[in-house]
Chains A and B, each alone.
Chain A
């Protein structure tokens, strides 16, 4: 079995995102999106079960490749990456078009994602990739059981449901259910010698187009000048008073 797992490098989420001309400013050093760790964890569990090969696929500004290294350190075998000016500020369809091509290059049977990136969070790329590749889509997976046949538990609005993982499919994994592993020292050292192959845009079939034209960003600072009280043991009274005033009780 061959597995492709998508990993996105994003600006450090602890620092707030900045924009120029409507585009997210991306520093040279970006980190692995936390959301992707869940997908990588599922990929690694499948690797252990099926002796599969796991290829990280990633699109976007490469920079120092810190995030790619973080994905390899968790235990993926190699990486396919792409950066091209034509892909800057890609919409979800452009992204999924490219990632589908990379999954094909990796000859992936199973393609795994987090549910949504932390910086773009459109939440449709896994579904789009499944459609491009003509594979079943098992979205919002929140649990995996590999003890016998591989069972995937999906999150649904009403609760959850289980399916047997098809031999070929696209999976998106939510941020719960699996516990992403921390790399140990050996894994960190081993990652340095793993192959990172840079893919040229010309080697992929690319038909998706940009369909969003940036207009403007408006600040709507919603800071309220609400009242603030230091508790001196009786603020419960104030809360009750206000709840009564607004007729909540």
Chain B
């Protein structure tokens, strides 16, 4: 199936979501081309084994809609049958734009797909990961938006070997007048080996200092539930779950988290899950490798002290 991967740039290289899709594409021997969208200068995103095109946009304007125009042309010219994008801000925007021009509804939140001749079957995770939902995509062009961490990131060697293309701005472009880059310190949720997440069972925002101390000792990234993000205890960028980030660390420590299905979607594939919750019946225990029934405020300080 002739395919086009919509890639993204992160810190001068390909984003982890892009690398994950490349793994899947190579496993399936897809005949693919990578079109990377980004605003960084001279990222190292090229390859000697597949074709890479960099659509370089200005950070000072919203011009993804123009980038979509360029992609639609490329998809039509190359008779592309399969378009793969990541479930990110950029990936969703672009896929949404493309889908109208190609009259093909994207399949979103895909965690896997299989190709059998001309049949493409997608898998979605539902019920907080308790069930999988399979559909065949029947349109000529198939657009899939892939959830992060669905595949291992590829370790392809990246080079400077790519062509840069500019886009012709359409009249839907909007100027950006203020760009704020959030400072990121310490281990990041997406790629940390240990993630410690807090829920309402930390009782008070002040107690998050324990989570920070523990994270410091274990060199871990910090996440949280929507309940505490909504309560303003933590920024949205640290939310784990259906409407937040998906993580797959070696160890996930859930502190005072009930384990709602929407939270589980974002963390249940972690290799080893430790849960601390004072309610013996909390659903988080159903997916925990080690469950401790007890008070977070007793256990975590002792844990910090003894590490």
**What's the Cα separation between A121 and B250 when bound, in Å?**
28
Could you tell me if B251 and A231 are in contact, using CB atoms closer than 8 angstroms?
no
Interface residue? A64 (CB, 8 A): no
**What's the Cα separation between A233 and B302 when bound, in Å?**
9
> How many cross-chain pairs have Cβ atoms below 8 Å apart between A and B?
250
Q: Which residues of B contact A22 (CB under 8 A)?
A: 133, 135
Could you tell me if B99 and A136 are in contact, using CB atoms closer than 8 angstroms?
no
Stretch at the interface among A39-47, A54-62, A161-169: A161-169
Could you tell me if A229 and B291 are in contact, using CB atoms closer than 8 angstroms?
yes
Which of A121, A126, A162, A217 is the one whose CB lies under 8 Å from B133? A217
Interface residue? B30 (CB, 8 A): no
Query: A123 to nearest B CB, angstroms?
Result: 5
Interface residue? A52 (CB, 8 A): no
Stretch at the interface among B47-55, B73-81, B157-165, B268-276: B268-276
Interface of chain A, helix or strand or loop or mixed? mixed
Interface residue? B31 (CB, 8 A): no
Interface residue? B256 (CB, 8 A): no
Q: Answer whether A124 and B133 are a contact pair too, CB < 8 Å, given A132-B100, A236-B299, A248-B250.
A: no
Q: Answer whether A216 and B134 are a contact pair too, CB < 8 Å, given A136-B173, A160-B182, A240-B303.
A: yes
Residues facing A in B130-157 (CB within 8 A) are 130-139, 142, 145
Stretch at the interface among A2-10, A78-86, A151-159, A190-198: A151-159
Q: How many residues of A contact B (CB 8 A)?
A: 81
Could you tell me if A246 and B272 are in contact, using CB atoms closer than 8 angstroms?
yes
Interface residue? B258 (CB, 8 A): no
Could you tell me if B242 and A121 are in contact, using CB atoms closer than 8 angstroms?
yes
Interface residue? A223 (CB, 8 A): yes
Stretch at the interface among A67-75, A88-96, A101-109, A181-189: A88-96
**What's the Cα separation between A219 and B127 when bound, in Å?**
9
Could you tell me if B126 and A217 are in contact, using CB atoms closer than 8 angstroms?
yes
Which of A159, A166, A218 is the one whose CB lies under 8 Å from B180? A159
**What's the Cα separation between A248 and B217 when bound, in Å?**
12
Residue of B nearest to A219 (CB): B131
Q: Answer whether A137 and B130 are a contact pair too, CB < 8 Å, given A91-B105, A92-B106, A94-B105.
A: no
Q: Which residues of B contact A226 (CB under 8 A)?
A: 273, 285, 287-291
Q: Which residues of B contact A127 (CB under 8 A)?
A: 92-93, 95-97
Interface residue? A237 (CB, 8 A): yes
Could you tell me if B109 and A248 are in contact, using CB atoms closer than 8 angstroms?
no
Which of A93, A128, A214, A242 is the one whose CB lies under 8 Å from B290? A242
Which of A131, A163, A240, A243 is the one whose CB lies under 8 Å from B100? A131
Could you tell me if B107 and A212 are in contact, using CB atoms closer than 8 angstroms?
yes
**What's the Cα separation between A69 and B179 when bound, in Å?**
38
**What's the Cα separation between A243 and B253 when bound, in Å?**
11
Could you tell me if A157 and B131 are in contact, using CB atoms closer than 8 angstroms?
no
Query: A241 to nearest B CB, angstroms?
Result: 10
**What's the Cα separation between A154 and B306 when bound, in Å?**
43
Stretch at the interface among B18-26, B83-91, B197-205: B83-91
**What's the Cα separation between A154 and B280 when bound, in Å?**
41
Q: Answer whether A246 and B250 are a contact pair too, CB < 8 Å, given A162-B177, A164-B175.
A: yes
Query: A237 to nearest B CB, angstroms?
Result: 7
Please name 5 further chain A to chain B contacts, defined as beta carbons within 8 Å, in addition to the given A128-B97, A132-B100, A136-B65, sorted by A numbering: A91-B105, A93-B100, A124-B95, A127-B96, A238-B290
Enumerate chain B interface residues (CB-CB to A < 8 A): 8, 10, 62, 64-65, 68, 87-90, 92-93, 95-97, 99-101, 103-109, 121, 126-127, 129-139, 142, 145, 172-182, 193-194, 218, 229-230, 236, 242-243, 250-251, 261, 268, 271-274, 280, 285-295, 298-299, 302-303, 305-307
Some 11 contacts from A to B, beta carbons below 8 A apart, are A121-B108, A137-B93, A157-B8, A158-B181, A161-B180, A163-B62, A208-B105, A212-B136, A223-B287, A238-B290, A248-B250
The 8 closest A-B pairs by CB, nearest first: A231-B294, A127-B96, A93-B105, A122-B108, A124-B96, A159-B182, A91-B105, A211-B139
